[in-house]
Structure 1
């Protein structure tokens, strides 16, 4: 395997890794993680769990039923004992939080949680993320196809230029998508429904994978463009230093540079020679020698 093909194989690996990072991040719901603080629900009997406020229904000894709507409930829990903290995580498509019995998660569509002010920003983020994945996939297909049909006439410079442009566009679109998602999430935190607003939140591992894909795209673009520029600079140098046959170039003899014989016929026994630069005075530029 020659050097050019080996370099492009090394370039293909980070592009595939960037594609895997983008696909994993887009399908995951761990872009943002945090804690929600909610009031404990009321228990309906004495066997309620730890995550609810206990109270018992009063019953008459005579067996008559009381109207629960007029009953007064005394709740002794105050301060932090009245609230429960539940972890949640959200992504592009859904938001999930822990259930009360801590046996699973309850998920709902994130698009339905985002208020009207952030719907457009979220859709732009999703569109930019899809275009980012499409451009990375195009770069993988182009580079893989050029390596599979490798031949001596394959134009590696055009492949490098195309891959560099695709990776730059993919990285920029990914950056825009991540920033727009952050904007839409902050809008949801401030203006979203009361039963969803988090108390504290931070970025999750999916968000880190998305930015890792951006870093890989930009690194591949810089490396490929550097290789393309170096190859373009070496082309004129190789043309100037090419082998040319030196013996084919006609070299005039030393006698032709200095002496030139007159073309007109001369009498027998006389030779007229023109000496350029030193004509004797009064001879009109010709010297007669017997």
Structure 2
């Protein structure tokens, strides 16, 4: 596997991870978690319990005794003692809270809880989240197909540019979706039904996964765009044969005549002259005159 193909395989890993994060976050109901305060229900303890007043009365017509313990409700408790705290969590689709007996959860549709003022914002958030997942999936399929169907004529410049554009669009759509969901949830907290409004709340692990997907998309976009820019700058250099192209520098006529006459460089103060004829043996054919 050559270097270009190996780099694209490594780029495919964070894209698949971002897709998994987005799918998990969208299907989960742990975007926001908190505690909700509710009024204590009617007395549910057994006969003789410490927190219940049990009494019965006799029906004058039938003579039967009726247990009216359900009509008594903690008459000696006031203030915060009249309420109980239950944990809840909400997502794009559902809002779940603990049951009174702490065995399981009771869930309801979050779209039915959001007031009219926030339903449009929530639908825009869901639409942006769906487009975010679609763009990430498209980028993963395109890059995976390019790696699997590799051939020597594959234009990796277009692959890098396409993946960078898809990932930056997916990241921006994901950011918009998360911010819109936060807005719709805050509207629901302030204007939602009384039997749902939380006392305290914070962001959950699904919300963190959604922003993790955004971070991965933007990182992949920056890396692929940097690689595209570097390869685009190196391509003209490779076509010219090197980073420093050689140019033909014409020699001057004077230098050409010097090399043709066989003149050699001379030190300062000496003059070399060519003497016609045959020089005697042992002499170099040149006479030095000071």
Which band: TM-score by shorter chain? Answer: 0.7 to 0.9
Scaled by the length of structure 1, what TM-score is found? 0.78
Q: Deviations over 1:17-37 (max 9, x none)?
A: 000000000000000000000
Query: Which residue number in structure 2 is paired with residue 128 of structure 1?
Result: 128
Q: In structure 2, do the counterparts of structure 1 residues 195 and 48 end up closer, same or farther at CA, with 3 Å as the change threshold?
A: farther
**Conservation of the 8 A alpha-carbon contact between 2:129 and 2:173:** yes
Scaled by the length of structure 2, what TM-score is found? 0.78
Q: Deviations over 1:237-273 (max 9, x none)?
A: 112226xxx9xx9x99969x99xxxxxxxxxxxxxxx
Unaligned runs of 5+ in 2: 258-290
Q: How far did 1:91 drift?
A: 0.1
Indicate the SS of the match to 1:198.
coil
Answer with 59-68 or 30-39: which moved more.
Answer: 59-68
**Conservation of the 8 A alpha-carbon contact between 1:44 and 1:55:** no
Q: How far did 1:136 drift?
A: 0.1
Indicate the SS of the match to 1:59.
strand
**Conservation of the 8 A alpha-carbon contact between 1:42 and 1:55:** no
Which residues in structure 2 correspond to 1:1-290 (within 5 Å)?
1-43=1-43, 46-47=46-47, 54-60=52-58, 63=63, 75-241=75-241
Query: Which residue number in structure 1 is paired with residue 287 of structure 2?
Result: none
Indicate the SS of the match to 2:206.
helix
Q: How far did 1:48 drift?
A: 9.6
Q: How far did 1:207 drift?
A: 0.1
Q: Distance in 1 between matches of 2:47 and 2:76?
A: 17
Indicate the SS of the match to 1:56.
coil
Q: In structure 2, do the counterparts of structure 1 residues 210 and 45 end up closer, same or farther at CA, with 3 Å as the change threshold?
A: closer
Q: In structure 2, do the counterparts of structure 1 residues 253 and 78 end up closer, same or farther at CA, with 3 Å as the change threshold?
A: closer
Q: Deviations over 1:134-153 (max 9, x none)?
A: 00000000000000110100
Q: Distance in 2 between matches of 1:166 and 1:140?
A: 10
**Conservation of the 8 A alpha-carbon contact between 1:33 and 1:87:** yes
**Conservation of the 8 A alpha-carbon contact between 1:45 and 1:56:** no
**Conservation of the 8 A alpha-carbon contact between 2:41 and 2:73:** no
Indicate the SS of the match to 2:10.
helix
**Conservation of the 8 A alpha-carbon contact between 1:86 and 1:97:** yes
Q: In structure 2, do the counterparts of structure 1 residues 45 and 10 end up closer, same or farther at CA, with 3 Å as the change threshold?
A: closer
Q: How far did 1:236 drift?
A: 1.1
Q: How far did 1:78 drift?
A: 1.6
Give the CA RMSD over aligned residues: 2.8
Q: Distance in 2 between matches of 1:122 and 1:73?
A: 39
Q: How far did 1:72 drift?
A: 7.9
Q: Distance in 2 between matches of 1:72 and 1:235?
A: 85
- Residue correspondences, number: 248
Q: Distance in 2 between matches of 1:72 and 1:25?
A: 44
